[in-house]
Structure 1
Amino acid sequence: MGTMYKATLPDGRFFAVKMIVDFHQFEEQIVSELKTLGTLKHKNLLPLYGFCVESNTRLLVYKFASNGNLSDWIHSVKNRRKILPWPFRLKIAVGVARGLARIHHGCWGQVVHLNISSKCILLDWDFEPKLSNFGKAILRSMTSPSGVLKEDVHAFGVVLLELITGMDCSRLDFSSNSILNEWIGHLLSNSYFYDAMDRFLIGQGFDDEIFQLLKVACNCLDCIPDRRPTMIQVYKDIKAITGRFEVVDGSEIQTQPEIRSATSQDQKQDQ
C-alpha cells in the first residue's frame, strides 16, 4: 500500500513506518489494517502502535522486525549468504500456525487474513514470526461459509513448501487440481523428496522432521477445501514435530485474547 521506512527515536528505539500517500486508493485496506492489527494482540501478530492522519498522507507505525521478511531468508538467490537452519524454520512454521489459529478461532470472532505469503511473515530479533499485511483481512460471521477460512490454510501450506524446498512456490500454478495432486504425489515419494528439498537442509540430520512437515503442508493443500484441516489442527500437528527442539516456544492457543500494551522489555528487544 505504500513505502516502508525504518524510524529511529532519540532514545535508540526502532519502529517501522508505512507511508501511504494515495490513501483514497487504499482506504479499505487501511481501515482493515486498523481494525485487525490495531485491536488484536498476539505474539505472532505484528503490533500496530499507532497511526497518523496528515493532509493527504497516512502513516501506520509498527513494531520493527529486525530480521526482515521470511521470503528473503528462504528463497534461493545468487551467492546467498543468509541461511536459515532447520530448527528456526520449524520455529517459524509453528509460530505462524499459532497466530493463524488464534485469529481463526479467537473469542472475538473469526478473522481471515486472505493474504498469507512468506513476504508478509516478518521475523523479529530471535526469529519469532509476526504476521503482517492485514489489508485484505475480513471478519467472518458465524453464518458465513467456512470455506473462506480454508483459503488461509491453503496459503499457509504454500509457505510450508517454501520452508522445505527454498522455492518461491507462490509463483507456481495451483489452479489445476490435477497438476497440484501430481506434484504433491511426487513430493511424498522418497526419491523426489530429496531432489525437492532445499539444498541447505540436505545431510543435516532432520530428514524425518522435514518429511513430517511436508505431510502437513500437503494436507493444507488438499484440492478439496472441506478436506483441509483447521488451523488449530495444523498448529497441533506442527507443534508435535517440534518436541526435539528447545528453540520453539511451547505456549498453547488460549481461549481469551492476549491484550497488553508494549513494555520497555519489548522495546529493548527491537534494538
Structure 2
Amino acid sequence: MPFAADSSANCKSACLNNCSCNAYVYNSTGCSLWFGDLLNIQQLDNGGDELYIRVASSEVSSSKKESIRRPVTVGAIAGTLALLGLVLVGIWIWGKRGSVEISNAVEGSLVAFTYRDLKIASKCFSEILGSGAFGSVFKGVLPDSTLIAVKKLQGITQGEKQFRAEVSTIGTIQHVNLVRLRGFCCEGNKRLLVYDYMENRSLNSHLLRKDDSKVALDWKTRYNIALGTARGLAYLHEECRDCIIHCDIKPENILLDVNFVPKVADFGLAKLLGREFSRVLTTMRGTRGYLAPEWISGVAITAKADVYSYGMMLFEIISGRRNSQKFEDGKTEYFPTWAATKVAEGADVLSILDNQLEGNADTEELTRTFRAACWCIQDDEVHRPTMGQVVQILEGFLEARPPPIPRSLQLIMEGEETYISS
C-alpha cells in the first residue's frame, strides 16, 4: 500500500515502526509498504526497483555468525587432521624403532618375525618358560600386549626354503586341543617359532607341584585334560591330510590355557628336525618314561608310538606323580606295574588314585581311564587302540574289557630290567 514519505530513510522508518509491515519499496512514485504475505509484489509499476524485506534481528546475527564460523571451522578441521597425521607418523616411526614389526605372512596365517622383533618382545629372552628336546621356550609380549611363547629351536639343519614350507604346513593345523602357531623367525642359522601363551603352563607343573601354593588338580579337571589331549592327538593322526606323529608326548608338552583346556604342543617338530631326531631321543627318559618298545627294537615308527606315550601319561594323570619313583632305601616303584597288578587282583580302582584327591573321583570315569592306559601301553602296537578309539573309550561310547598286563611290565615285576634299560 502507498505511504507518504519524502525519502528512502523515512520509508524504511515507516515500515520498521509498524510491526505488521513485511517489506517496502521507495522509488520515484513514493513509498510502498507491504503487509501480510508477499503475494502482490508484481504490482510494482517499475521494474528494477529494490525491494527491502524485513527479517528478524536474530536471523541477521545468525547469518553473520555463520559467515564467520565457516572459515574458523574449516581451519580447525584442517589443523586437527594435520595434528592427527603427525601423531600417526610418530607412532609409525616409534613402532619401526622399538616394537615388533609385522612382516610377511606365509599363506595368510603366519607372521614372519625378525630376530630383533622377538628379542625385543622377549626382553632378550630373559624369562624362560621351559626347555626340552627341541629347544627352550621364553615368554614374550607383543606391542598390543598379547602374550606369546617364543621357542628357540636347536639342531635345525634345514635350509630356509624347506623350513618355511614345513612351518607353513604346521601353521595350517588348527584344533581346540592344539597350541596355535602364530609365526616364526628364519634368519641365518636362527630358527624360532612363536606360539600362543598358555596361562596355566604345562600339565607337568600341576602334577609335580614344586610350588606348594598350587592346588592339586581335581579329578574332573584331570579327566577333561586326558580327553582333550586324546582328541588333539586323534586329530593329528586321523584328520590331517598327512598323519602327523608327535613322537614326544609327555606332561611337559601338554599345555593348559586359562580354563585348563589342554593344548598339545610341539606337534610337527619331529619332522622339522628330520635326521637330527635320533639325537633328540637320547635326551628322553627311555622306555620307562614314554618311549614305546619299537623305538629300541628298530621297527618303523607309526602313530601307535604316540598311543603308547599317551598311555604312560595317563598313569601319571591318575597317580599325580612320575611313573617311576625311587625311595631313600634305593628301591624303585614303577606305578603302572603296581597299579595293573593291584587292579588285576581285584582291588578297588580308587586305590590307585592320587592320594591328594582323597578318593573324590567318578569311579566309572576312572575305570575307563585306567583301562585305556593299560591298553595303550601294550608291547605289540597291533594290540593298542587308535587315538580315535581312546576318545570313544573315555567318552563311554566304546567299552574296553579288562586289559592284560603287558610283557614289559611283567619283566619289571620279575626283576628282569635289562630289556627296559637297554
Output one character per residue of 1:55-109: Cα deviation in whole Å (capped at 9) or x when no partner: 4422211011111000111125474623111111111111111111111111502
Task: Give me the whole-angstrom Cα distance separating, in 1, the residues matched to 2:176 and 2:208.
Answer: 25
1:238 Cα shift?
1.0
Instruction: Give the equivalent residue in structure 2 for 1:158.
Output: 312
Task: Give me the whole-angstrom Cα distance separating, in 2, the residues matched to 1:136 and 1:156.
Answer: 17
Aligned with 2:206: secondary structure? helix
Instruction: Give the equivalent residue in structure 2 for 1:269.
Output: none
Q: Which amino acid aligns with 1:109?
A: D
Percent of residue pairs identical: 32
Q: Which amino acid aligns with 2:379?
A: C
Instruction: Give the equivalent residue in structure 2 for 1:110.
Output: 243
Task: Give me the whole-angstrom Cα distance separating, in 1, the residues matched to 2:381 and 2:147.
Answer: 41
Task: Give me the whole-angstrom Cα distance separating, in 2, the residues matched to 1:79 and 1:133.
Answer: 28
Q: Tell whether the 8 Å contact from 1:50 to 1:60 is kept in structure 2 after alignment.
A: yes
Task: Give me the whole-angstrom Cα distance separating, in 2, the residues matched to 1:120 and 1:16.
Answer: 13
Task: Give me the whole-angstrom Cα distance separating, in 2, the residues matched to 1:73 and 1:212.
Answer: 22
Q: Tell whether the 8 Å contact from 1:147 to 1:225 is kept in structure 2 after alignment.
A: no
Q: Tell whether the 8 Å contact from 1:147 to 1:226 is kept in structure 2 after alignment.
A: no
Gaps of 5+ in 1: 139-144, 173-178, 242-271
Matched, 1:136 2:270: yes
Alignment of 1:167-182 (within 5 A): 167-169=321-323
Output one character per residue of 1:188-232: Cα deviation in whole Å (capped at 9) or x when no partner: 445374443211222324233212211111111122210111111
1:40 Cα shift?
1.4
Q: Which amino acid aligns with 2:222?
A: R
Instruction: Give the equivalent residue in structure 2 for 1:125.
Output: 258
Q: Of residues 210, 215, 218 in structure 2, which corresponds to 1:82?
A: 215
Q: Tell whether the 8 Å contact from 2:304 to 2:386 is kept in structure 1 after alignment.
A: yes
Task: Give me the whole-angstrom Cα distance separating, in 1, the residues matched to 2:305 and 2:196.
Answer: 27
Q: Tell whether the 8 Å contact from 1:15 to 1:63 is kept in structure 2 after alignment.
A: yes
Instruction: Give the equivalent residue in structure 2 for 1:17.
Output: 150
TM score, norm. by length of structure 2: 0.48
1:19 Cα shift?
2.5
Instruction: Give the equivalent residue in structure 2 for 1:196.
Output: 352
Instruction: Give the equivalent residue in structure 1 for 2:157.
Output: 27
Instruction: Give the equivalent residue in structure 2 for 1:230.
Output: 386
Matched, 1:53 2:186: yes
Q: Tell whether the 8 Å contact from 1:153 to 1:229 is kept in structure 2 after alignment.
A: yes
1:53 Cα shift?
2.0
Instruction: Give the equivalent residue in structure 2 for 1:252.
Output: none
Q: Which amino acid aligns with 2:225?
A: I
Task: Give me the whole-angstrom Cα distance separating, in 2, the residues matched to 1:180 and 1:91.
Answer: 21
Cα pair distance change 1:156/1:65, threshold 3 Å: same
Which range moved further: 88-97 or 181-190? 181-190
Aligned with 1:65: secondary structure? coil
TM score, norm. by length of structure 1: 0.72
Q: Which amino acid aligns with 2:396?
A: A
Task: Give me the whole-angstrom Cα distance separating, in 1, the residues matched to 2:345 and 2:320.
Answer: 18
Cα root mean square deviation, aligned: 3.0
| Aligned pairs, number | 225
Task: Give me the whole-angstrom Cα distance separating, in 1, the residues matched to 2:169 and 2:252.
Answer: 18
Larger-Rg structure: 2
Task: Give me the whole-angstrom Cα distance separating, in 1, the residues matched to 2:360 and 2:170.
Answer: 37
Q: Tell whether the 8 Å contact from 2:323 to 2:336 is kept in structure 1 after alignment.
A: no
1:166 Cα shift?
0.8
Q: Of residues 125, 141, 150 in structure 2, which corresponds to 1:8?
A: 141
Q: Which amino acid aligns with 2:156?
A: F
Cα pair distance change 1:52/1:150, threshold 3 Å: same
Cα pair distance change 1:137/1:164, threshold 3 Å: farther
Cα pair distance change 1:137/1:199, threshold 3 Å: farther
